Amino acid sequence: MRFPVFSLLLIVALAQPAWAGIDVRVRGLGSDERDNAYARLSILEYAKRTDADKGSYEVSDVERLFKQGEAEIKGALQPFGWYNITVTSELKGSAPNWIADYFVDAGPLTAITRIDLQILGDGADEPALQKLKERPRPLKLGERIKHEEYETLKSALSQTAYSAGLLDAQLTRHELRIDVPSNTAEVLLTLDTGRRYRFGDIAIDQQDSRLRESFLRRYLTFEPGETYDPAKVLSTQFAFSDLDYFDSVDVESRKDQADADLRIPMIVHTTEKAPRSYKFGVGYGTDTGPRASFGSEFRRLNDLGHKLRLDLRVSPVISTAIAEYRIPYGRNPSDSFSFTTQALTQNFSDVKETLYRFGASYNRRGRLWQQRAYIDFTFDNYTIRQSAPQQSKLLVPGLSLTRSIGDDPIFPKRGLYAFFDVHGGSTALLSDTNFVQGLIKLRGTLYVGNRVYLLARVDQGATAVGSFNNLPPSQRFFAGGDDSVRGYSYQSLGPRDVNGRVTGGKYLTTASGEANWYFYKTYGLAAFVDTGGAGDNPVVDFSLGAGLGFRYRAPFGAFAFDLAHPFDAGQSPVRFHLGVRVGL
């Protein structure tokens, strides 16, 4: 029993402010009340100042400030609903070692017996204000009055009125009446909302921009005559920024020019970005080897905001060139039609493939999910190590859903990513085989404290196919690599033919668990376990890899250096993996 008692005494001692000359102790209170009491005590401030200046304590000052502390503690407790407080105190010791003891009996709580909330003006029937009137949270009859909660209710009333276009609303009565002898409190509030404002004429000020104004007006989230709503003003600013045409966007509300009907003129000020952007990059990844990239984007091909994106990436394993023409559509900045051409070559494990793709898609941002409906025509030339070259053509319609939730797009502490895709082809529609394929990807991260992050990943895929031999590698499943089962080379896990060549499978299952500990600023260590594989049966042959890694956080993402050990026989004991992670 000695250890618990000692620990308790140590915690109490650490919780009490002690200075060279005065040890101040306040007893009988909860943590919040005690902290506020310490913050109010002049004797503590005197001790801090004297110690900092290395001065001497005056007995008369200590005695005076000690006695004053009783009133200061009582004042510190009133905001928490304690008004009938008894404080007994004792000053022990002598200069320069005093102990100032305060024993506090907070007494009975002061309960709310009446809440009188009146709403006047145009907003008297506003539903959101009526809800606050009926349930004036966080205050509640019969519960202890807390000044902070009283102020919270006042702020909620003002903010709710402002959000409803009642820009002149003010509290003409705000009284908190405390009857100390009876330990009761009354809250009396009157909100005069005044008249309701509305949106007036909307002008769009484009500096050096050639975009058609009728096109930009599609992304306004409010219209003239609607009730003024600051949330809609902000959403319009976000929408114009998300279009990626402008370097800055500011939505100005000219309340001082409101007309007799309280219609506020609005101006959207924009400053354009450069019409073209270019990016170059070189790097190295375990899956790709050395690599180089070039990208270019033409942001405004015409006054309707059409865009062109060019992307070229070259490496010994995967090289691709993509051109995408995007046409904005609808009222959401991310909604569009896009037309894509792609050439791709890849050389991994036992597979060599050259693919040409022509596609069109409709991209739409739903309330929760990013939706993409697409149709692709692909032409494939491929060989599986020393086998005869094969060709494949597929016309593939599909649908994908994506959702990402996180508190930071680059380094989320809490986040979830989900991706679902289903697509297929038919011999009746220009494809060489009948097939349907589905793929699910899930990613998650959770910060558990002490600079430790937990990460999890699951991939699951399945294919129903008429003739697997006519299905090209781009539509088969493989496992292994930086973002799959570490410890195994890129795309090296999957079914093999009679000659031992990896041919890919109909099914995919991979999973990973990882812990990252950032021991010093942007430097961290990782421990991970990966498992999974690809196969011709729903239950695939699982391979297992585990290892340790080093992490470095750069502004654009986290460098990952991993050493992974594969547990399958015949593999290299350790494999090095290098990559960059951004978000989930």
SS3 124: coil
Q: Residues with Cβ < 8 Å from 555, sequence gap 6 or more?
A: 410
Q: Which DSSP letter does residue 388 get?
A: P
Q: How far apart are the first and last CA of the chain?
A: 48
- Domains of the chain (ranges; CATH) run 14-105 (3.10.20.310), 111-192 (3.10.20.310), 198-272 (3.10.20.310), 276-581 (2.40.160.50)
- Measure the CA–CA gap between 478 and 532, rounded to whole angstroms: 10
- CB-based contacts of 60-69 (< 8 A; 24+ apart in sequence): 62/21, 62/22, 62/91, 62/95, 62/98, 63/91, 66/91, 66/98, 66/100, 68/42, 68/43, 69/41, 69/42, 69/43, 69/100, 69/102
- Measure the CA–CA gap between 248 and 244, rounded to whole angstroms: 10
Q: What is the number of other CB atoms lying within 10 angstroms of the CB of residue 572?
A: 11
Length of the chain: 584
- Measure the CA–CA gap between 344 and 381, rounded to whole angstroms: 10
Taking only the tens of pLDDT, the chain with its 584 residues reads: 333 433 333 333 334 555 557 889 999 999 899 999 999 999 999 988 888 887 888 889 999 999 999 999 999 999 999 999 999 999 988 777 889 999 999 999 999 999 999 999 999 999 999 999 999 999 999 999 999 999 999 999 999 999 999 999 999 999 999 999 999 999 999 999 999 999 999 999 987 678 999 999 999 999 999 999 999 999 999 999 999 999 999 999 999 999 999 999 999 999 999 989 999 988 888 888 899 999 999 999 999 999 999 999 999 999 999 999 999 998 999 999 999 999 999 998 888 999 999 999 999 998 889 999 999 999 999 998 778 899 999 999 999 999 999 888 888 899 999 999 999 999 999 999 999 999 999 999 999 999 999 999 999 999 999 999 899 999 999 999 999 999 999 999 999 888 888 999 999 999 999 999 999 999 999 999 999 999 999 999 999 999 999 999 988 888 999 999 999 988 889 999 988 888 87
Q: Which of 392, 390, 394, 388 is nearest to 380 (CA)?
A: 392
Instruction: Specify the amino acid at residue 541.
Output: D
Q: Which residue has the tokens 């009283």?
A: 150
Q: Which of 500, 508, 432, 492 is nearest to 468 (CA)?
A: 432
- Measure the CA–CA gap between 60 and 69, rounded to whole angstroms: 14
- Measure the CA–CA gap between 192 and 120, rounded to whole angstroms: 5
pTM over 0.85: no
CA 140 to chain centre: 34
Q: Is 362 exposed, middle or buried (0-12, 13-18, 19+ CB in 10 A)?
A: middle
